[in-house]
Structure 1
């Protein structure tokens, strides 16, 4: 939870940390909401300004909430890609999984830029680049503007389009693990897809085949 000391009772919002666990700096990825109680001020923060942060982090998008598997699917829409920007730069991710598929759906092409930049930076990173090369795959799509792939994340999954494009088998409880972060409707739809595929939802204290982030601000 982060906020600003600009009121008697500061407004706090949940944001996923986009920087990897080993980084000395904290990175966040957010949209700019016109007249938003926090983002209208947060977007004007300058070097030297104070940002408030709650001491205890929360969330389910951690590797320990998943059982061992072969492939890790990271499903995101919009700024829901933020926690995955952290995980794809974590060496432990590649210790646990042979393949990492980062999926992002956005309305506009411009909204895909951050994911593409972070993926390229990961592959070039001296710490994780070698491990990620050939194993980290980015598959993104738009819903409102023409792009090389168009359609909703849910449709691309259920139709098999992503599996065909990346030459991957269908998701199974035996080999695949899934993390989901995005809008409320996307969370619900992707959760149901996972359940229909026979995957079990996990938690920090009960690892399973998929996890859903429920404290995300989109």
Structure 2
């Protein structure tokens, strides 16, 4: 399995020591806010993640409903190093080659990985790439706006707060399962990481 090791991270500091046969206890009821029903209809959905925050987007990127609801699916994933991006790269590659969903994914899925501490063809924080317009220019899509764009955010508490400010600068408003809007933020499990 893949795991990004966050020093003293509440999950990864334990997860990295897991061995075959170890017991994993799961909650009987899933929790979280990253569900498509929490977003208003739109043209494009952005999945914005740092490090292990990509995990909830793995299932959303595999869900045919995502590609039926949105014309474009943009996965922005930022890690410190190129090596930490490998899970996301393989995930996207496998989706595009998947016999069941690959055709549906097609060109709709746009993957935009960046690093913050190593040289890479895309670098910098998600907030900087959004605020500067670099990601829009690189992908050939217009800047975010309330009419067309939806977003889901998963990362550290500091990252989530910073991204929320950027999304709001584009006119997007935070929603919830009970009140869908333009973006949602995962709050079930956040720490003070990256």
TM-score normalised over the length of structure 2: 0.91
**Match of 1:207?**
180
Unaligned runs of 5+ in 2: none
**Using the alignment, how far apart are the partners of 1:116 and 1:88 within structure 2?**
13
Decide whether aligned partners of structure 1 residues 163 and 40 sit closer, same or farther in structure 2, where only a CA change above 3 A counts.
closer
1:14-53 equivalent positions in 2, closer than 5 A: 30-32=3-5, 39-53=12-26
- State the secondary structure of the residue aligned to 1:137: strand
- State the shift of 1:45 in Å: 3.1
Decide whether aligned partners of structure 1 residues 32 and 174 sit closer, same or farther in structure 2, where only a CA change above 3 A counts.
same
**Match of 1:180?**
153
Please identify, of 103-112 and 28-37, the stretch whose mean Cα deviation from structure 2 is larger: 28-37
1:97-176 equivalent positions in 2, closer than 5 A: 97-176=70-149
Residues 176-195 of structure 1: per-residue CA shift (max 9 Å, x gap): 10001111111001101111
If asked which structure has higher relative contact order (CA below 8 Å, sep 6+), I would say 2
Decide whether aligned partners of structure 1 residues 33 and 190 sit closer, same or farther in structure 2, where only a CA change above 3 A counts.
closer
RMSD value over aligned CA atoms?
1.8
**Using the alignment, how far apart are the partners of 2:172 and 2:48 within structure 1?**
15
**Using the alignment, how far apart are the partners of 2:27 and 2:157 within structure 1?**
23
**Using the alignment, how far apart are the partners of 1:210 and 1:110 within structure 2?**
29
User: Of residues 65, 78, 95 in structure 1, which corresponds to 2:38?
Assistant: 65
8 Å Cα contact 1:107-1:143 kept in structure 2? yes
8 Å Cα contact 1:76-1:182 kept in structure 2? yes
Unaligned runs of 5+ in 1: 1-27
Q: Structure 1 or 2: larger helix share?
A: 2
TM-score normalised over the length of structure 1: 0.82
**Using the alignment, how far apart are the partners of 2:136 and 2:7 within structure 1?**
38
**Using the alignment, how far apart are the partners of 2:45 and 2:11 within structure 1?**
33
